[in-house]
Amino acid sequence: MGRSLSVIRHFAAAVCYLAAAMLLVACAGGPYPAGSHVADSTPTAQRLSYYGLPVPAYVQSVTITNPDASVQAVFEKCQIDFGVPKSEIVGMGMIGEPTDLPRFVALTGREPQLSDQGPTWVIQIHGEMRTPAGELWTDPTCVVTANDSGWYATGPVMNVADRTITTPLPATRSPDLGLPALSN
Amino acid sequence: MVAIDAAQPPTAAAVACEATSTNKWLGDGKNVLGLIGASSQIEFINRAVCTQGEHFVDSWALSWVSIQNGTGGPNNILQTGYAKCGVSSSCGWNGGNSYVWYYYGRNAGPCGAKFQTGVVKIYNVSSGLHDFAVLKSGTHYNVTVDSVVEAQRSVSDIETCWEGGGASSAGWYNEMLNNGDQGGGPSTNHQSLDNNAYLTGTGWHSFTHPLNSLCVNTAALPNWHCQWSGSYSDRIYTWDDRFP
């Protein structure tokens, strides 16, 4: 009797988990990005970002062995392995349109890149960047759109001259989606 | 960690890196009302970055011209020039080779979160005098090297996104991160930043100082020297007396 109850409990737990997973995927879903990237058909509800946010099914992991030309172009625009070590990347993916950015990145809503169009790539790093303007940026985020690319201060920034630290402006919304880690 | 190019020989005359790195500048700047551009003919000198020890530190030896606006911090800037970067720096090591670059940044404000392009490589460089400029032209601010447009930012990136309404000062500087980085040319071949000028609605204006007057040395490192010279006093000479 006890063994039967245990089996039932395990079955019920599995059903609940599956239902939760489907719900999470549905909630995390969004418009699929244009271009050659297709929706990932594997279960992805278990994918969580470095920051603990669910990774939507349509954001595929980037393979660092033999990355395709589009990934290499994004690496170049974000100076990956040209000042920014690839090892510092904690999340990367093509998320869809720039209007989707605030779901992934803490932005104010006033950033001109939000009005851009086309495929949008995001790279999050856990590390520090120095700038020739005299600042030290911690954990910034690179965004690449059709007409612009660069880094947003999504973490603290220190002015090295006077050692003052500024924190990011309040975001228009808290990001509720995450990016997958790189895969081999 | 960036791999060290084994084929790149160490610079024999290089100075050991010190334990900490902070940005330091050697050159000069000017506040200008209605500023829309700045230019300089900068001499290429293959300056050395410091020699790394057991624990890598950031280092670089940059030369650049800029327009900027100090409102809200130092990041409202558009600049271009030469870069020689250390092996673990936030600008590309590039196999130890120097290159031409540009950088655009804006502070948090009218255009949202603080933003920067990073140090964007344009191409490798190894010799000569090159004309660098950042200037407004039509609907853009152009970054030009030897009069060729190499990068552009929209006018709104400068005049709207920089809180305070556009550029308010220009800069002509060498920049180092570590006291072991070479601050200028060797003692026998001072590096020149020549024909220094800035642009307003009334045209280009030479940026001059009294002959032999000293420039700004934010590190006050006694080995780093900078003074004004040239037939029209619009030339900066920089040198580092640790390098004969």
A45: confidence class by pLDDT, cuts 50, 70, 90: low
A interface test, pick of B2, B69, B90 with most A CB neighbours within 10 Å: B90
pLDDT digits (tens, 9 = 90+) for B7-42: 333 444 699 999 999 999 999 999 999 999 999 999
Pairwise CB contact (< 8 Å): A154 & B175:
no
Helix ranges restricted to H, B28-139: none
What DSSP designation does B109 have?
Answer: B
B2 falls within a domain: no
- Show me where the domains of chain A are located: 2-166
H/E segment holding residue A2: helix A2-28
Q: Which two tokens stand for residue A78?
A: 């974000």
A160 neighbourhood in chain B, CB within 8 Å: 22-23
B11 falls within a domain: no
Which domain, by its residues, includes B207? 24-240
Q: Does B70 touch chain A (CB under 8 A)?
A: no
Pairwise CB contact (< 8 Å): B113 & A135:
no
Residue A3 CB partners (closer than 8 Å, separation 6+): none
H/E segment holding residue A12: helix A2-28
Cα nearest neighbour of A169 on chain B: B113
Among chain A, residues having any CB pair with chain B shorter than 8 Å are 78-79, 81-85, 87, 106-112, 128-135, 137, 142, 149-154, 157, 159-161, 166, 168-169
B205 falls within a domain: yes
CA B24, CA B236: separation in Å to the nearest integer?
17
Pairwise CB contact (< 8 Å): B75 & A81:
no
pLDDT of B232: 77
Three-state SS string across B116-181, please?
ECCCEEEEECCCCEEEEEEEEECCEEEEEECCEEEEEEEHHHHHCCCCCCCCCEEEEEEEECCCCC
Q: What is the pTM of this model?
A: 0.87
pLDDT digits (tens, 9 = 90+) for B56-96: 999 999 999 999 999 888 999 999 999 999 998 999 999 99
As a whole number, mean pLDDT of residues A72-97 equals 97
CATH number at B85 reads 2.60.120.700
Angle formed at CA A156 by CA B180 and CA B178, multiple of 5 degrees: 0
Domain count, chain B: 1
CA distance A133 to chain B (A): 6
pLDDT digits (tens, 9 = 90+) for B188-225: 999 999 999 999 999 999 999 999 999 999 888 999 99
Pairwise CB contact (< 8 Å): B104 & A150:
yes
Question: Mean pLDDT of all residues in chain A?
Answer: 82
Mean pLDDT lowest among A6-10, A127-131, A178-182:
A6-10
B121 falls within a domain: yes
Q: Which two tokens stand for residue B232?
A: 């029209």
pLDDT of B220: 84
State yes or no: pLDDT of A1 exceeds 60: no
What DSSP designation does A106 have?
Answer: -
